[in-house]
């Protein structure tokens, strides 16, 4: 145990050997120089030591609480704390036929990959149409998800990226708006489904900023409903949403065992 600790400590104390010796003009330094000689596993990858990950996790958690508009900090928290959980998620995706297909084909959700015109032309109660309505009503765009940077495995980086990109679909399935209360309910659902530490932390600390009335509704009705549905439904990461646009939303909800929300919360929080 102490040998491992010593190795970790030594590794984090090692300075940047590659840059000693003949000094070059500083402007020649490539912006993406890595700090421990490890290669980049994917284009946006920033390799980090254990110490850096710990500091990032603590710092991003603090900053996310201090400034709730720093969504990038929530993302960083998820990336730095989710390694083990992502492995479990990836393994169970492999065991599921639809999930395995997603891992293989690596579909991405963004304005470039979505055919909004086609979605708009779909029948009213279809999942695709309802998803588009959700985007319009809440004025969100599928392009606001930042790329993963701090996950040290290329497949797991995709898994967390997929988790982020299907977040809006989960909103649609649950019928939750994007106000604070809606987001907290979705986080509870996701926490039960994925077990990601970031979801659990958000679910527990998010309600701090709520009014007493909203908190009451949340605790008495919404959380029990979200947890129940989260437990009952299969993992939402295993759904190949891009192939289910035409499926009626009601049928999809039945397939997953998701019930209607106990009440509408558009006006709350």
Partner 1 sequence: MMFYPMCRRFQFSFQLPGVYQVFESVARKYDVMNDMMSLGIHRVWKDLLLLKMHPFPGTQLLDVAGGTGDIAFRFLNYVQAQHQRKQKRQLRAQQNLSWEEIAKKYQNQEDSLGGSRVMVCDINKEMLKMGKQKACARGYKAGLAWVLGDAEELPFDDDKFDVYTIAFGIRNVTHIDRALQEAHRVLKPGGRFLCLEFSQVNNPLVSRLYDVYSFQVIPVLGEVIAGDWKSYQYLVESIRQFPPQEEFKEMIEDAGFQKVTYENLTSGIVAIHSGFKL
Residues found near partner 1 in the complex (CB under 8 A)? 12-13, 15-16, 19-20, 23-33, 35, 46, 49, 51-52, 55-56, 59-60, 62-63, 70, 72-73, 76, 149
In terms of CB distance, is 52 or 228 closer to partner 1? 52
Interhelix angle 249-256/167-174, nearest 10 degrees: 100
Largest CA distance in the chain: 68
How near is the Cβ of 51 to partner 1 at its closest, in Å? 5
In terms of CB distance, is 28 or 124 closer to partner 1? 28
71 assigned to a ligand binding site: no
In terms of CB distance, is 148 or 238 closer to partner 1? 148
Nearest to 152, CA basis, from 8, 7, 52:
52
What span, in angstroms and rounded, lies between the C-alpha atoms of 207 and 68? 12
How near is the Cβ of 67 to partner 1 at its closest, in Å? 10
In terms of CB distance, is 193 or 202 closer to partner 1? 202
How near is the Cβ of 83 to partner 1 at its closest, in Å? 17
246 assigned to a ligand binding site: no
In terms of CB distance, is 40 or 219 closer to partner 1? 40
Surface-to-core class of residue 267, CB atoms within 10 Å of its CB (0-12 exposed, 13-18 middle, 19+ buried): exposed
In terms of CB distance, is 22 or 139 closer to partner 1? 22
How near is the Cβ of 143 to partner 1 at its closest, in Å? 17
How near is the Cβ of 45 to partner 1 at its closest, in Å? 11
171 assigned to a ligand binding site: yes
The three-state (H, E, C) secondary structure of the chain, written as one string: CHHHHHHHHHHHHCCCHHHCCCCCCHHHCCCCCCCCCCCCCCCCCCCCCHHHHHHHHHHHHHHHHHCCCCHHHHHHHHHHHCHHHHHHHHHHHHHCHHHHHHHHHCCCCCCCCCCHHHHHCCCCCEHHHHHHHHHHHHCCCCCCCCCCCCCCCHHHHHHHHHHHHCHHHHHHHHCCCCCHHHHHHHHHHHHHHHCCHHHHHHHHHHHHHCCHHHHHHHHHHHHHHHHHHHHHCCCHHHCCHHHCCCCEHHHHHHHHCCCCCCCCCCCCC
136 assigned to a ligand binding site: no
How near is the Cβ of 200 to partner 1 at its closest, in Å? 21
In terms of CB distance, is 157 or 226 closer to partner 1? 157
How near is the Cβ of 16 to partner 1 at its closest, in Å? 6
Annotated binding site for Zn(2+): 167-168, 171, 183
Annotated binding site: 167-168, 171, 183
């Amino acid at each position: 145990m102490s040998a491992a600790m010593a190795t970790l400590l030594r590794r984090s104390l090692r300075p940047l050997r590659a840059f000693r010796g003949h000094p070059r003009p500083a402007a020649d330094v490539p912006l993406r120089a890595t700090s421990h000689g490890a290669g980049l596993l994917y284009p946006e990858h920033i390799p980090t030591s254990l110490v850096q990950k710990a500091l990032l996790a603590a710092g991003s958690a603090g900053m996310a609480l201090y400034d709730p508009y720093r969504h990038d900090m929530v993302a960083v928290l998820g990336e730095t704390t989710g390694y083990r959980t992502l492995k479990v998620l990836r393994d169970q995706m492999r065991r599921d036929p639809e999930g395995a297909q997603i891992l293989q084909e690596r579909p991405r959700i963004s304005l470039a990959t979505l055919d909004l015109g086609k979605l708009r032309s779909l029948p009213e109660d279809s999942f695709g149409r309802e998803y588009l309505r959700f985007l319009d009503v809440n004025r969100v765009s599928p392009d606001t998800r930042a790329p993963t940077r701090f996950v040290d495995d290329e497949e797991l980086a995709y898994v967390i990226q997929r988790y982020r990109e299907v977040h809006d679909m989960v909103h649609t399935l649950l019928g939750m708006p994007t106000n604070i209360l809606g987001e907290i309910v979705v986080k509870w659902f996701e926490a039960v489904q994925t077990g990601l530490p970031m979801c659990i932390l958000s679910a527990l600390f998010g309600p701090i900023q709520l009014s007493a009335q909203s908190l009451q509704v949340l605790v008495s009705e919404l959380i029990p409903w979200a947890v129940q549905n989260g437990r009952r439904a299969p993992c939402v990461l295993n759904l190949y949403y891009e192939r289910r646009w035409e499926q009626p939303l009601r049928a999809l909800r039945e397939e997953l065992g998701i019930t209607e929300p106990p009440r509408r919360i558009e006006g709350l929080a």
